[in-house]
Amino acid sequence: MSEKTMLLALFSDLDPAARAVDALREIGIKDDHVNVIAGIPITEAMMGRPKHPSNVPTLALGGAVGGMFVGALLAFWTPNVYPLNVGGQALIPGPPSVVVLFEMTMLGMLISTFLGVFLDSRFPSYEPKEYVTEISDGKIALLIECQPEEEKEIETAMNKLGAESVKHAEAQTL
């Protein structure tokens, strides 16, 4: 099998780019071989693409459980290990314990969510990436991985759907 090539189709608006993604599916290009590059946040639903799975909610839940465990240790175990009896008060006071549990739960969730987003975005990346300077001006690019035999058909379809340019993509270090 021959080496795959990368084509870069540049669009000025979201609607033609979304129609181009549909046309690529009809040609037989799978969704994991098409990458949408834009200077603005574009959701999968806007482009008619399947939802990308994320581990961030699971990591956030795990961090919340871990934070609650640490909060329980601080609120309940520490007073038993180091008792400080103050006249007439309980050894483990209720309202301050609830505050410590809540704050440690939120802190655990916040830290794990940050780490989850950081790892899920595969940041930092030191390998060359495809980028076009026109993206900073509001354009939308489709990076298409295809076989050399499919290039002409894809180029024709992209031009028919309103692509400003279709050219070979070259990875550059940013």
Q: What is the pLDDT of residues 147-163, one digit of tens each?
A: 888 888 888 888 888 88
CATH of 5-52+130-168, one of 3.40.50.450, 3.40.640.10, 3.10.20.30, 3.30.70.120: 3.30.70.120
Buried b (16+ CB within 10 A) or exposed e, 115-145: ebeeeeeeeeeeeeeebbeeeeeebbbbbbe
Q: What is the pLDDT of residues 89-105, one digit of tens each?
A: 888 888 889 999 999 99
Give the domain ranges of the chain.
5-52+130-168, 56-120
pTM greater than 0.75 = no
Q: What is the pLDDT of residues 66-88, one digit of tens each?
A: 999 999 999 999 888 988 888 87
Residue 162 near residue 7 (C-beta atoms within 8 A): no
Which residues, at least 6 apart from 98, have a Cβ–Cβ distance to it below 8 Å?
A: none
